[in-house]
Amino acid sequence: MGKVLIIGAGGVATVAAHKVAQHPEVFDEIMIASRTKAKCDAIVKAIGNPSIQTAQVDADNVEELVELLNGYKPDMVMNLALPYQDLTIMEACLQTGCNYLDTANYEPKDVAHFEYSWQWAYKKRFEEAGLTAILGCGFDPGVSGVYTAYAAKHYFDEIHYLDIVDCNAGNHHKAFATNFNPEINIREITQNGRYYENGQWVETKPMEIHKDLTYPNIGPRDSYLLFHEELESLVKNFPTIKRARFWMTFGQEYLTHLRVIQNIGMARIDEVDYNGVKIVPLQFLKAVLPNPQDLGENYEGETSIGCRIRGVKDGKELTYYVYNNCSHHAAYLETGMQGVSYTTGVPAMIGAMMFLKGIWKKPGVWNVEEFDPDPFMEELNKDGLPWHEVFNGDLEL
């Protein structure tokens, strides 16, 4: 039995809160705290469980967080706010003796650059405090790492090639919208691409490399090579990997909007002066774009995310593809949110469950693939994200 504090009240937090509330045998006390308390109260109302507490907190402020954590005394904080808050929340957890989980690695606000070094630097302090920090426990990062660990544990002596493939074949009937926080999303996909090959990182221009990949139940979709944070931890934790890449699908309409947004300067993350008011264009853009939380109602189609792996077992080459398809509409019916929030919020709940059950509990700062994947994989099947396997199929990569 455990007490959990969810920080953030966006799409991912809404799904995680619904899922946490479905498991009273594990989570016996729940609090949701965010910058805007009214949003936390709205989630509680949607779940219909008035025993869930809510609070207001500015998670950029360590002192405020420490006060909240000392008052509520959770066993674990699920950080489902934004990557900017990772370090302040980790710091507050250390000061109050609380365990930590998140779904995205730290990014400084003023540079669109993400890497694990900032959070891995906390490893010794978490170890010494006897506290567990689980990093990147959404779908990708998250399930992508668990899938890789599962493949390594059960099917391969050595993994040589890893391709993480992320397809959103949904249609929300808006001209342009992002599926999670627009600011974080646009920062991520407008960066240079990067992949790992033979011990080195190879950089590409944004969206420079793309090819059609075929997704189950969906068909071929143009897929673009991006850098994604789990590549950094996976090549470190599975050193036999010779090449690791990440692919994501984008439609032409989306890419055209993105190009225009960049060309007219609206993707800028530096401050500009507008009639004496300092604004960051990308933050302003977020305020006028559709809210990802409102996309669910008319969202049709599915996501399909998986790992395509090639390696050897008993001296023989083997290919393996493990994936989940998630229906936006089914996600909406269950939680009021679309599939991208769902595929992130469910694994976050499962990660917290693994910790509270004592299965994923070890002092230090860890990426998900460093834990036993089996109980997590079992839980994915029970909690709405069933997975499927293809052996020795054509990986197309």
Q: How would you classify residue 314: left for phi > 0, otherwise alpha for psi between -120 and 50, otherwise beta?
A: left
Please, are residues 245 and 162 in contact by the beta-carbon 8 Å criterion?
yes
Q: Does 81 bind ligand NDP (CB under 6 A)?
A: yes
Q: Closer to ligand NDP at the Cβ: 99 or 343? A: 343
**From the CA atom positions of the chain, what is the Rg in Å?**
20
Q: Closer to ligand NDP at the Cβ: 43 or 309? A: 43
Instruction: Please report the DSSP string for 256-276 in residue order.
Output: HHHHHHHHTTTT--S-EEETT
Q: Does 83 bind ligand NDP (CB under 6 A)?
A: yes
Q: Does 324 bind ligand NDP (CB under 6 A)?
A: no
Q: Does 344 bind ligand NDP (CB under 6 A)?
A: yes
Site for ligand NDP in 129-148 (CB under 6 A): 138-142
Q: How many helices (H) and strands (E) does the chain have?
A: 14, 18
Question: Which residue among 54, 99, 103, 304 contacts ligand NDP (CB under 6 A)?
Answer: 103
Q: Closer to ligand NDP at the Cβ: 236 or 242? A: 236
Residue with tokens 């980790």: 90
Q: Does 11 bind ligand NDP (CB under 6 A)?
A: yes
> How many chain residues bind ligand NDP (CB under 6 A)?
34
Q: In whole angstroms, give the CA distance from residue 345 to residue 363.
A: 24
Q: Does 105 bind ligand NDP (CB under 6 A)?
A: no
**292-319: string of b/e by CB count within 10 Å (b at 16+)?**
bbebbeebebbbbbbbbbbbeeeeeebb
Site for ligand NDP in 162-181 (CB under 6 A): 180-181
Shortest distance, position 104 Cβ to ligand NDP, whole Å: 4
Question: Which residue among 5, 6, 12, 354 contacts ligand NDP (CB under 6 A)?
Answer: 12
Q: Closer to ligand NDP at the Cβ: 310 or 328? A: 328
Q: Closer to ligand NDP at the Cβ: 283 or 319? A: 283
Site for ligand NDP in 27-66 (CB under 6 A): 34-36, 39, 57-60
The amino acid at residue 170 is: G
Shortest distance, position 102 Cβ to ligand NDP, whole Å: 7
Q: Closer to ligand NDP at the Cβ: 156 or 366? A: 366
Q: Does 303 bind ligand NDP (CB under 6 A)?
A: no
CB nearest ligand NDP: which residue? 10
Residue span 183-202 as binding mask against ligand NDP, x where in contact by CB under 6 A, dash where not:
-x------------------
Q: Closer to ligand NDP at the Cβ: 59 or 226? A: 59
Shortest distance, position 36 Cβ to ligand NDP, whole Å: 4
Structure tokens at 335: 């939680």
| Alpha-carbon separation of residue 279 from 115, 121, 186, 276, 384 (angstroms) | 26, 32, 17, 9, 40
Sign of the CA dihedral with 149 first, then 155, 161, and 165 last: negative
Residue with tokens 């920090």: 133
Q: Does 233 bind ligand NDP (CB under 6 A)?
A: no
Cα within 13 Å of Cα(182), Cβ side: 25
Q: Does 106 bind ligand NDP (CB under 6 A)?
A: no
Instruction: Please report the DSSP string for 21-62 in residue order.
Output: HT-TTTEEEEEEEES-HHHHHHHHHHHT-TTSEEEE--TT-H
Q: Closer to ligand NDP at the Cβ: 103 or 129? A: 103
Non-local CB neighbours of 318 within 8 Å, separated by 6+ positions: 155, 156, 310, 311, 312, 391, 392
The binding site for ligand NDP (CB under 6 A) comprises 8-13, 34-36, 39, 57-60, 80-83, 85, 103-104, 138-142, 180-181, 184, 292-293, 340-341, 344
